[in-house]
Amino acid sequence: MDHSATDPGLAPQVLTTIVVPCRNEALNILPLIAEIAAAMAGQGAFEIIVVDDGSDDGMAARLEAARGDWPMLRVLRHDRSGGQSAAIHSGVLAARGALICMLDGDGQNPPAELPRLIAALRAPGAAPIGLVAGQRVGRKDTLARRLASRFANGLRSRVLKDGTRDTGCGLKAFRRDAYLALPYFDHMHRYLPALFARDGWQIAHVDVTHRPRGAGRSHYSNLQRGLVGVVDLMAVAWLLHRRKKVRATEISPIAGPVTERQP
């Protein structure tokens, strides 16, 4: 009998961790986990970490009941809602994989896209790449939300010059150690391309599909995103300009003559 799926001591080393930050997604989360598990077949040992950001819709009970069906599933729960960036940060801190993938818990990011993001980080010559950012095509959001996103992305791109068309896409893959070296702050998930580039990493982009929300409603309004976004954008611009890029080279000591000491 193979005990590797249930015995951590016998399980293969986790290569990739899928982090799913979510709040009040009771109707979406279990189908999403099933899709992630199917998409990751053949990608090596992986784990799924769902970070429940203080849900009150019964999602926690559904996740607890489903853990026996997916041995690779881990569940973290915040004692109160800390926001999406906090949920992502908690998931990455707990992750065992060196590569992290993340996607939203509302089901709008198709898990079938995950192998394409992972492939970009594992490709020959990918060592300088720290982040692979998904960019949505054919978005299935309302017109108002698409227009607000287009304006926000345009403003951010002009200010930060991060070369990314769509930072709002939840599908991303990155190196865990590189992420943990970034300065952590609320809403940082919206600026990951600029922050990774600030630390000298290259950013790769992959066009990904997008789906309508399966159930429930968004937890953000366009006005809320806009007001917070302007303040965050100015703060991130300041942070980028405060970075001093210098290169350190270790100087090997010159070996001098060895003189034998007399007693």
pLDDT tens per residue across span 71-86: 999 999 999 999 999 9
What's the pLDDT tens digit per position in 216-226?
Answer: 666 655 455 55
For position 10, what pLDDT does the model report?
Answer: 52
Least confident of 59-63, 135-139, 169-173: 135-139
User: How far apart are alpha carbons 239 and 142 in whole angstroms?
Assistant: 33
For 52, other C-beta atoms within 10 Å of its C-beta total 23
Contact 109, 171 (CB under 8 A): yes
When pLDDT is averaged across residues 29-55 and rounded to a whole number, the result is 97
The stretch 187-210 carries a mean pLDDT of 94
Confidence check: pLDDT of 103 > 50 = yes
Question: In CATH, what class is 16-143+163-219?
Answer: alpha beta
Reply yes or no on whether the pLDDT at 6 is more than 50: no
